[in-house]
Amino acid sequence: MNNTFDQLKNFSDIGTLKPAIHSLCSRYGSVARLDILAASQAGKRQALCFVRMDSAEQERQLMSDLGVGRFAGDLVMIVDLHTPGTVRAETSGLRAA
């Protein structure tokens, strides 16, 4: 697990997560598209983040450095969202898809 993602584990909603994901990805170049969808799995709230960079080289570098996977042409990150008022037993924060 890349420690870069630790900063993302405490976001509770997509609206506040989106600028953080954009900032993280923009370290590798210009972000062409960023879409985030809410999901829930086994009672856990998650955000599915789909990213496109301006160039294939930027995407390769992001994938290499952060361990991010690809799905249908997009880079995909899954972020576990914090549920306010609950104690987090899991600290994974983000997984590469």
Q: What is the CA radius of gyration of the chain?
A: 13
In order of start, what are the domains of the chain with their CATH numbers? 3-96 (3.30.70)
Q: Residues 37-75: pLDDT tens digits?
A: 999 888 888 999 999 999 999 999 999 998 899 999 999
> Is residue 27 very low, low, confident or very high in pLDDT (cuts 50, 70, 90)?
very high
Q: What is the distance, to the nearest Å, from the Cα of residue 65 to the centroid of all Cα atoms in its chain?
A: 14
On the CB side of 51, CA atoms within 13 Å amount to: 33
Q: Residues 82-94: pLDDT tens digits?
A: 876 655 444 344 5
